[in-house]
Amino acid sequence: MQIHFDYGFVSADSHVTEPPDCYQRFIDPAYRDRAPFIRRDEKRGDLYVIPGQDNMTVPMGLVAAAGEESSQMTFNGRDFEDWHRSGWDPAYRLNDQARDGVAAELLFATVGMQLCGHEDLDYRRACMAAYNRWLQEYCSHAPDRLFGAGQAAVKNAVDAVDELADIKKMGFKGVMMSGQPGEADYDDPSYDRLWSAAVDMELPLCFHILTNRAYGGHRGPKINALLNVVRSCQDILGMLIYSGVFDRHPDLKVVCVESDAGWAPHYAYRMDHIYKRHRFWNKAVELKRMPSEYFFENIWLTFQDDWTAFHVKDHLNIERLMWANDFPHSDSTWPLSQELLTKHAAQLSPHERRRILRDNCVELFGLDAPEQPAALS
């Protein structure tokens, strides 16, 4: 069956690649002398250096590898000049959107994912505030097509509410949360004020892969570690559901970003089984509904080429699935998204396709996005 897309997709998870002056230009002057910066290494290429925690470095080889053959991708050896320019220069972004059939994108950080694990919480917040100022400037180039998710350091619940207020004031449509807060954890009752604020401000809270310090470690081949990224997001979702967060805040909207969705039916079943069979000896919080009901009502899932999600669609909530192209990262489907979706989404109805490829994201984040991609120039 031939599929014709008569509308532009909306990517629920795309990225910027922070340029060399992103943090130094916008950070609070008190932190400018230790703002993240790029260092050129002869062997490893350009590295983003984040002072503190042994000066963690972010090799930029994979963060701009969209469109490359998998055999050509490399972790190291790539310089700033090699990046997709549209990752940091918005004047080039709409052309790259149009090449992939995309009308608009929700934009997340790249270097900022590593910052989520920084243990100096005041420094983390200063860097994220700087990034948000840079992102606001970037999105202003095409405010109907470039929508930002502001970063929140989440030192504690009180600080996080202030961060959400700033993010809302800056015009961002969602919040890129730190996977691990500074004080206690997200099941602590002190964070009820944060959940209430998110509902009041109509800001979906996004938990992206690689923003949780729990990620990491593996047995056997290095490639096995990449399977942990989904598990780290599942931990957060399970914590929120089992601790009764959605009972107390039924209108809270949480997004699990870039963790795929084909696994969700079994995960939801397993949550119910554990709750029914093992909640008493675990002294678990008594919930008003089954865990799977919160999962399919309060949680949205984003994915790129997870064709398994389409095959198990009848065991999911179609209204909570959102496609993304992850441009310009190495996992991106750009510039072949239309070709892949023609195959992957063939068994969906036209209504289901449009919901997943566009409307769910538009409605969740309140995007006033054009129906069609920009004209190629």
In this predicted model, what pLDDT tens digit does every residue of 36-56 receive, in sequence order? 999 988 888 888 999 997 778
| Domain 9-23+84-365, second-level architecture | Alpha-Beta Barrel (3.20)
Q: Which amino acid is at 377?
A: S
The better pLDDT of the pair 326, 81 is held by 326
Q: Of 48-57, 67-76, 280-289, 343-352, which gets the smallest average pLDDT?
A: 67-76
Predicted pLDDT at 53: 73
What is d(CA 42, CA 56) in angstroms, rounded to the nearest whole number?
Answer: 18
Q: Which of 213-217, 281-285, 351-355 has the lowest mean pLDDT?
A: 213-217
pTM, rounded to two decimals: 0.97
Distance (Å, whole) CA 278 – CA 293: 18
Q: In what order do the strands lie in the sheet with 37-41?
A: 37-41, 45-50, 56-59
Amino acid at 252: L
The sign of the torsion formed by the CA atoms of 66, 304, 294, 228 equals negative
Taking only the tens place, the pLDDT of each residue in 291-331 is: 999 999 999 999 999 999 999 999 999 999 999 999 999 99
Q: For residue 248, is pLDDT > 90?
A: yes
Three-class DSSP category at 116:
coil
What whole-number distance in Å separates Cα of residue 245 and Cα of residue 262? 24
| Residue 193's pLDDT band (cuts 50, 70, 90) | very high
The predicted structure's pLDDT at residue 1: 64
- Assess whether pLDDT exceeds 80 at residue 26: yes
pLDDT band of residue 71 (cuts 50, 70, 90) is confident
For the chain, give the mean pLDDT: 94
